[in-house]
Chain A
Amino acid sequence: MVAKAHRVLPGFGLALGYTLVYLSLLILLPLGGMILKASELGFGQIIDIALGERSLAAFRVTFGASFVAATVNAFFGLIVAWILVRYTFPGKRFVDALVDLPFALPTAVAGITLATLYAGNGWLGQFIEPLGFKVAYTPVGIVVALTFITLPFVVRTLQPVIEDIETEVEEAAASLGASRWQTFVKVIFPAIFPALLTGFALAFARAVGEYGSVIFIAGNLPLISEITPLLIISKLEQYDVLGATALAVVMLALSFILLLAVNVLQWWTANRHKNSEPLEVAAAKASGGAA
């Protein structure tokens, strides 16, 4: 008989069962239903729908804008998270709360507000448009909306990780002779990179599915600024549920592949970091490089 590993808290079986049921009901059941519905179409037909000119253009806009928005947030979100964790300044609590606002705001409200701001006569648009930049009703507008919606994902993922890096580590690196740049690149960044990837992936996934805010600022011109969720709505408007599910399944598959890739990358960097480079070693190495 195999001895059971002793755990402080009992209830593993119950919790696992609960988890499985919960996830099945919440995620697998609707997804399964969707895939089952799509399977009424042949594989060839699904591919035909996905490869149509309008669908391809929409996929490009959706995934492209989501990628740009997630990248922008990975960069600026990192700065925001860093500032919020490492510094104290008046109104910090307020700024911290602001970050969550895109979570709470109904997305349609966000879209309408952004469209009003960036339109030719809006607060921001009136200064930007004379310079030749159009934001509202162009694909750039889609990126702006998606960047707004997905900001909290990066910041909230990074904050606890940055909190875990003690300032002593930076001091150690510095005292061992690492320059500021080396301290960041070789000590800090490797430690937060996995979390940054997670934040990026969450932001990206959220952006791909976003509908409510985007349609109010996108302009929705065929081949230029139509997003895939709009095409899905368009199919539903024709009572073409099958066509809509086909698009949804393809979108899901693409998202899954991309998220899987991000996860693999994250797992790889996390493992490399864990196995070979504890922070102290990294600090020493960084200083070694400087010496």
Chain B
Amino acid sequence: MNKISHSLSALLLSLVASAVLADVSLLNASYDVARDVYKDFNPLFQKHWKAKTGETLELKQSHGGSTKQVRAVADGLEADVVTMNQANDIEFLAEKGLVAKDWTRKFPNNASPYTSTMVFIVRKGNPKAIKDWNDIAAPGVQMIIPHPKNTGNGRNTYLSAWAWALKQPGGNDAKAQEFLGRLLKNAPLFAAGGRDATTTFMQRKMGDVLITFESEAEMIAKEFGKGEFEVVYPSLTMQTEFPVALVEKVVDKKGTRKQAQAYLEFLWSKEGQENAAQNYLRPRDAELLKKYAASFPPVKTFTVDEVFGGANKAFATHFKDGGSFDQIYQSK
């Protein structure tokens, strides 16, 4: 009890102290599992900024489902920057006029400082010999993924499989849709979210393959032990981007443009890139990618822009009501 009250008062004190001491405060609205990345990144930037300008920055984080976060910002959450895991969420803010229309060109690499990719997690020894997407669509295989319509993780899996089917000899949209139909038949359930899918696969031992972010595989290793599973890289998979943007309206109002801009730019610095790599996200920096090559084996990837003509278009074609996902689930 005493301990709790002590730590509570310590927390209160530190809150008061930081509010008093900080010259400027920035709020970063981010997606759910970004916690670890920015927990490590923020102190790095604070130090960098202090050394450069002498200004003490307070950095606050807000985490939640990507779409939820963006809606909060649109409804008035005063975030200086948004760091998301789906381009169409930032696109939504651009449509609302909160973010620059050409936000993807405001920063290098399509405004995505690091990437990840969708991989297969299979049971130890890969008993069902799952090597590629068509192995998962085979009869008797069970696949665990989050809901493709409601989660970014699930959508990435869906689009990865679609792109793979397109690239097969004689592949076209009709054949891809037919393939997705067979693939989804092997999903005994759609998990509520990425972490729920992981728990279902690892803890409840359901399914033969879990499809998730490469970065998540390392989290699983930490949680459940490396010997419990194997990572399989399919012949083609999506390079997932994690786009960032300045919320123009907010930084103009708060007068924090300079700091917010520097904060996002710092994601591309050596320190920022190394922090991403340490959190199992593929850095854009070629040197660091080489340094951490053990964590990031080469893999053939595509981007949503290349295959689907942009995140918004992909979403509209496949996941809006009546899109390809819904068509698959229409009873005949």
Contact = CB atoms under 8 A, between A and B. Distances in A.
Contact of B150 (A225, A234, A240): A234
B167 to A, nearest CB: 27
Contacts of B326: 54, 222
A223 B331 contact: yes
B189 interface: yes
A47 to B, nearest CB: 15
Nearest to A136: B204
A119 B149 contact: no
Interface stretch (A187-195, A213-221, A254-262): A213-221
A237 B67 contact: yes
A116 B150 contact: no
A240 to B, nearest CB: 7
Given A53-B331, A54-B326, A230 B150 contact: yes
A238 B148 CA distance: 12
A64 interface: no
B321 interface: yes
Interface stretch (B124-132, B195-203, B272-280): B195-203
A136 B206 CA distance: 11
Interface centre among A120, A238, A240 (most CB of B within 10 A): A238
Interface in A231-249: 233-240, 243
Contact of B199 (A112, A230, A239): A112
B-side interface mostly: loop
Interface in A134-158: 136-137
B204 A237 contact: no
B189 A220 contact: yes
A122 interface: yes
A267 to B, nearest CB: 40
B206 A120 contact: yes
A65 B188 CA distance: 20
A207 interface: no
A124 to B, nearest CB: 12
Contact of A54 (B188, B320, B329): B329
Nearest to A235: B321
A239 B92 contact: yes
Interface size class on chain A is 20 to 34
Nearest to A230: B150
Interface residues of B, number: 27
Contacts of A243: 321
A221 B205 contact: no
A139 B331 CA distance: 18
A136 B187 CA distance: 14
Contacts of A223: 329, 331
Given A120-B205, A230-B150, A219 B192 contact: no
A221 B196 contact: no
A116 B205 CA distance: 10
Interface in A272-286: none
A186 to B, nearest CB: 48
Interface string B295-332: 00000000000000000000100011100001001110
Contacts of A216: 192, 196
A238 B331 CA distance: 23
Given A216-B192, A220-B147, A238 B203 contact: no
A115 interface: yes
Given A53-B330, A54-B326, 9 more contacts: A112-B196, A115-B204, A116-B203, A219-B188, A219-B190, A220-B191, A220-B192, A223-B329, A233-B150
5 contacts: A216-B196, A220-B189, A222-B326, A234-B147, A240-B320
